[in-house]
Amino acid sequence: MKRALITGITGQDGSYLAELLLEKGYEVHGIVRRSSTESFERINHIAGNIQLHQADLLDQLSIIDVMKVSKPDEVYNLAAQSFVPTSWKQPVLTGEFTAIGVTRVLEAIKLLNKDGIRFYQASSSEMYGKVQAVPQTEDTPFYPRSPYGVAKLYGHWITINYRESYNMYCCSGILFNHESERRGKEFVTRKVTDGVARIKLGLAKELKLGNLDAKRDWGFAGDYVRAMWLMLQQDKPDDFVIATGETHTVEKLVDTAFKVVDLDWKKYVKQDPALVRPAEVDLLIGDPAHAKAKLGWKPEVTFEQLIERMVKADLARLKNSATPDMKAQGI
Ligand code: NDP
Ligand code: GDR
């Protein structure tokens, strides 16, 4: 039985990846950080089948200890401060988790079992930032536009550096935006689908958003974790762009989500200058040709299917949590 260790197992991707690895017969271990309230809602349904260990990417010894106990064949480094706007408010902390945290994990692998452990790094399309070519490939030059993007670029290059310096099996997955009903509510897709469901149910009157012109290449998280696993099953380590190859504006996302419930978004969406970022990434569209050719990977869920499933999931969740008062009003 293969063993995997996932940092960031409580996050969106960590939960889907844990499910996938369990299906494949892995023994799954995960790192969780101590907090006064537990944030296990995405993994509660598989809690009996995975082993959780307390550790933090800020603490080198805690990572070494978890690796000694879990003895992984594969390490998936998904933990990060992952919300771009927070990276301007907490740039130093973002660098500590999202950049130097990667080196801590790589150092633990190098120390304990450099030839036996395969490593996946969660890199990001945010590294392209002010894009230098369209569509973006593994060879497109990077130009990050946020402290988060800069930190991820460090993580990307340190992964490549350990591969080249120590001959370690290290892969960097340059993943474009991927979403699901488990997405954090501060990210734009989930903010919109949750907002649409609230407006439809009479729980909210408006939805405040920032820049509606930005373009993103949005895919489904369940498809993207398959690519992570595939990267660690090859003869040689490599880096891969994972994307759908389609791009849409935030406005198109909003229109698509409101249409699921037959409402006109223009009546409800307000633009709030406070939500506009200090520096924006205007256009992302990835070319996944390398992943298609080498990994045999392709996305299964379309943009429209993704938004529809997210709106429906938010409607169902809000209806299930309706109070007696709300139920009396037909919610
Ligand atoms: P989430 O924000 O949903 O999850 C982040 C995870 O990291 C959580 O489990 C969080 O734990 C954990 N974490 C944060 N800081 C630490 C720390 N110091 N020590 C240990 N764990 C920590 O992110 P996603 O699942 O969406 O993304 C997974 C990874 O992929 C991230 O690195 C993200 O930057 C990257 N990425 C994501 C993309 C996307 O579109 N989703 C695209 C490209 C890259 P806790 O529950 O305690 O907060
Ligand atoms: P992003 O995702 O920054 O691309 O990073 P996010 O969903 O936060 O923003 C996407 C685009 O939508 C615009 N936008 C808004 N965004 C948010 N969050 N809230 C709003 O109200 C709003 N209005 C407009 C943004 O300006 C932006 O252009 C995500 C994260 O998962 C990263 O961790 C990951 O690396 C990248 O995707 C790829």
**DSSP sequence for 37-94:** S---TTTGGGGGGEEEEE--TT-HHHHHHHHHHH--SEEEE--S---HHHHHHSHHHH
The verdict on the CB of residue 217 being under 6 Å from ligand 2 is no
- Return the ligand number nearest the Cα of 99: 1
Which atom of ligand 2 lies nearest, measured to the CA of 176?
Answer: 38
User: Given CA atoms 109, 110, 116, 119 in this order, what sign does their dihedral have?
Assistant: positive
- Return the ligand number nearest the Cα of 8: 1
Going by pLDDT thresholds of 50, 70 and 90, the confidence category of residue 331 is low
Q: Model confidence over 76-111: pLDDT tens digits?
A: 999 999 999 999 999 999 999 999 999 999 999 999
pTM over 0.95? The answer is yes
**pLDDT value at position 145?**
98
Which atom of ligand 2 lies nearest, measured to the CA of 281?
Answer: 28
14: Cβ–Cβ under 8 A, 6 or more apart, which residues?
A: 6, 7, 8, 30, 42, 43, 76, 78, 79
Cα gap 125→144, rounded to integer Å: 9
> Would you say 110 and 214 are in contact if contact means Cβ atoms under 8 Å apart?
no
Q: Model confidence over 297-326: pLDDT tens digits?
A: 999 999 999 999 999 999 999 999 876 666
Token pair of 193 as six digits: 């689908």
> Would you say 281 and 250 are in contact if contact means Cβ atoms under 8 Å apart?
no
Q: Whose CA is nearest to atom 18 of ligand 1?
A: 57
ipTM tops the 0.90 cut = yes
Q: Model confidence over 160-219: pLDDT tens digits?
A: 999 999 999 999 999 999 999 999 999 999 999 999 999 999 999 999 999 999 999 999
- Return the ligand number nearest the Cα of 149: 2
pLDDT greater than 80 at residue 330: no
**Residue 160 main-chain phi, psi, to 5 deg:** -65, -40
Domain architecture of the chain: domains with CATH: 3-179+219-242 (3.40.50.720), 188-216+247-280+302-321 (3.90.25.10)
Cα gap 193→236, rounded to integer Å: 40
Output Rg (C-alpha) for the chain, integer angstroms.
20
Which atom of ligand 2 lies nearest, measured to the CA of 124?
Answer: 35
Q: Model confidence over 277-301: pLDDT tens digits?
A: 999 999 999 999 999 999 999 999 9
User: Given CA atoms 225, 226, 229, 232 in this order, what sign does their dihedral have?
Assistant: negative
Residues with catalytic annotation?
124, 126, 148
**Residue to mutate (ligand 1; options 32, 78, 120, 126; most atoms within 8 A of CB):** 78
How many distinct helices (H) and strands (E) make up the chain?
A: 12, 13
Under DSSP, the state recorded for 35 is -
